[in-house]
Amino acid sequence: MNHVARLQLVGRVTYYLGWLSLLCGGLVHINIARGLFAAMSLSQRNLFEVAVVCFVISMASEIRARDAESKDMSGGLRKAA
């Protein structure tokens, strides 16, 4: 597994974790499963913050993967020439 594939995997995992935490925050907002998240000491705000952090990490990973991918392609083109 090369560097670009690892970055894309991290981006995908954090993207889906972000959606999952937003979904959980929505459930807390409409009073479904509030007791479950209260028992874990997670408030609606904490779930929203986790979602934002996950989305920021996924965007950063994807941008770094695309940048590394473009550098790999340009290096390969230079070698071919």
Q: Is the pTM of this model over 0.85?
A: no
> How confident is the prediction along the chain (81 residues), in pLDDT tens digits per residue?
687 788 888 888 888 888 888 888 888 888 888 888 888 888 888 888 888 898 898 888 888 888 877 776 655 555 555
Q: Are 68 and 4 in contact (CB under 8 A)?
A: yes
What pLDDT, on the 0 to 100 scale, is given for residue 77? 53
What value, to the nearest 5°, has the Cα angle with vertex 63 and ends 11 and 77? Answer: 120
Residues 63, 25: Cα–Cα separation, whole Å: 27
Q: Nearest Cα to 10, choosing from 71, 69, 64?
A: 64
Instruction: Estimate to the nearest angstrom the gap between the alpha carbon of 51 and the chain centroid.
Output: 8
Q: DSSP secondary-structure letter at 40?
A: T
